[in-house]
Amino acid sequence: MKRVSIYDTTLRDGTQGTGISFSVLDKIRVAEKLDAFGVDYIEGGWPGSNPRDVAFFEEAAKREWKHAKIAAFGSTRRGGVTVQDDAQVRTLLDAKTPVVTIVGKTWLLHVTEVLNVTPEENLAMITETVAHLKANGREVFYDAEHFFDSYKDDPGYSLKTVKAAQDAGADLVVLCDTNGGSLPEEVGRITAEVISALGRPVGIHTHNDSGLGVANALAAVAAGASQVQGTVNGYGERVGNCNLTTVIPTLQVKMGLSLVPDLARLRELSRFVDELANVPQDIRAPYVGPAAFTHKGGLHVHAVQKLARSYEHMDPALVGNAQTILVSDMSGQSNILAKAKELGFDFKKGAPEVAAILRQVKESEAAGYEFEAADASFDLLVRRTLGRHRPLFDLREYHCSFRRSALHGFTTCEATVKLQVNGVSEYTVEEGDGPVNALDAALRKALRPFYPWIDDLRLADYKVRIVDGSRGTAARTRVLIVSTDGRASWGTVGVSDNIIEASWLALVDSMEFHSLKRLAG
């Protein structure tokens, strides 16, 4: 079986998309998810471009990655500057990643009009940068920017640039359809010609400006490309990049290539990244969207109930999805089994416990819950359903108030919490910068004498989403909280018509999950 590697650039190319932004912790969580899924390379960002990417590489260096290699992204040295003196190249080495990907100019239009250097200087920039990175022990990928546009203009010079990178020691030359305007026939033909000229496979990096990002990547693989670059859910600049959640199952299921060990986790990955990005899921996304295997009314439903493949191109369970007859957000037992096993619960398919959990998940999702980025809340849901959950406390009441003094020029939030812990009544009052901060402080104050490790817990991120915008200000609210104890991080979720209650539910789940981990040793 032919081996094709997957190179994910969600954390760099993907974040250039409109409305896409990740915190440092978000980026780490996405990278961990990609690593567990089996992606070969994870491009973390451009370390010379912003402090957030620098912080990501510092955090990434502290972690052990099970499968993936982390890559730093940058460019060739500047014109007229030695590679040793180029500050941007130094930041690539300072990132301490095993892989460095550099982009270089291939199109003479860019060489002379954008960089304002000679064609010869551009070749030297490519050669010297690749050689310098290789001399410092890095695996080096060379992204040939605008390659297909360049090749159609001047194939001779285009080949000189990629040959320069290869001769300097680049481990892989990657052909980029940067403007996203090429057609599959062109990409396939040109890729084959370049492979013939270089004498070895290349990678492919496509954009989706013509709606052909995935088709062009498939054409390149059919022509001999050995690596596909793209982003989860197709995030990226302008209209996006090659969508990995589409191209991976197509390559693995349709073309028989070896890519990832467990494709059934694909839909979970897609929804996880959407949730962290605070982006509504594309319900019509191929393979992973809720509508991908949904049937409604008429002859289709009649046929598919008799024989699924009569109106389905593949078994949806292969990508972690499920067949649905009615329009709903329905999970299958395979999803529950896989997730439960990941959290340490071992059930057999068809067991009554699985059916009970599935029913509870359906009811919760109908109410607006999403568990893909809230593993801790799902863990607690399983425990509650099985009767294995012991709450940290019995809540009597809580209250939040907001005060503004026009006279003295201050605002403050105050929270009161009344509860019982192990039969002991606690009543606490605390102020905070906002209602969630005040509630957090008051709850910690009440729990601290009984659970001293509560101070190890830190709120790392807080996201709010309206579940049903058609209700305006009366819409239900979903709150996703990310917490950390300094060693691991986890997500919890709460849903309510009241944003304060939704926040409280997510906050309590986080504290209970943290305590479960501590009590388990």
Please report which confidence band the pLDDT of residue 371 belongs to, taking 50, 70 and 90 as the band edges: confident
- State pLDDT tens for residues 165-201: 999 999 999 999 999 999 999 999 999 999 999 999 9
CB-CB contact of 269 with 275 (8 Å): no
pLDDT band at 330; cut points 50, 70, 90: very low
Residue 352: which region, alpha, beta or left (left: phi > 0; alpha: psi -120 to 50)? alpha
Range 430-452 average pLDDT: 91
For residues 468 and 462, give the distance between their C-alpha atoms in angstroms, rounded to a whole number: 19
Residues 28-49: what's their mean pLDDT? 94
Q: Which of 50-55's residues contact partners 24+ apart within 8 Å by CB, and which partners?
A: 52/23, 52/24, 52/27, 53/12, 54/91, 54/95, 55/24
What pLDDT is recorded for position 331?
Answer: 46
Strand partners, 430: 415
**pLDDT value for 466:** 86
Enter the tokens of residue 9.
């650039």
Q: Among all chains, which residue has been given the structure tokens 């709120």?
A: 459
Residue 70's DSSP bridge partners are 42
| Residue 481's pLDDT band (cuts 50, 70, 90) | very high
Q: What does the pLDDT average to over 74-99?
A: 95
List, in order of start, the domains of the chain with CATH numbers: 5-277 (3.20.20.70), 341-392+451-521 (3.30.160.340), 403-444 (no CATH)
H or E stretch covering 419: strand 410-421
For range 430-453, the mean pLDDT: 91
pLDDT, tens digit (0-9, with 9 covering 90-100), for 308-322:
776 678 889 899 987
The closest of 434, 433, 455 to 443, measured between CA atoms, is 455
The torsion of the CA quartet 71, 73, 75, 76, rounded to 10 degrees, works out to: -10
pLDDT top residue among 190 and 354: 190
HEC per residue, 310-334: HCCCCCHHHHCCCCECCCCCCCCHH
Please tell me the distance from the alpha carbon of residue 432 to that of residue 420, in angstroms, as a whole number: 23
Task: Give the H or E element holding residue 108.
Answer: helix 108-113
Per-residue pLDDT tens over the stretch 273-295:
998 998 888 989 999 998 887 76
Measured CA to CA, the distance from residue 56 to residue 64 in angstroms comes to: 14
> Cβ(6)–Cβ(34) under 8 Å?
no
pLDDT at 215 over 70: yes
- Other C-beta atoms closer than 10 Å to the C-beta of 51 total 9
Q: Are 208 and 194 in contact (CB under 8 A)?
A: no
Question: Distance between CA 124 and CA 128 in Å, rounded?
Answer: 6
- As a whole number of angstroms, the longest Cα–Cα distance in the chain is 81
- pLDDT (mean) for 3-12: 95
HSE-CB of 479 using CA atoms within 13 angstroms? 23
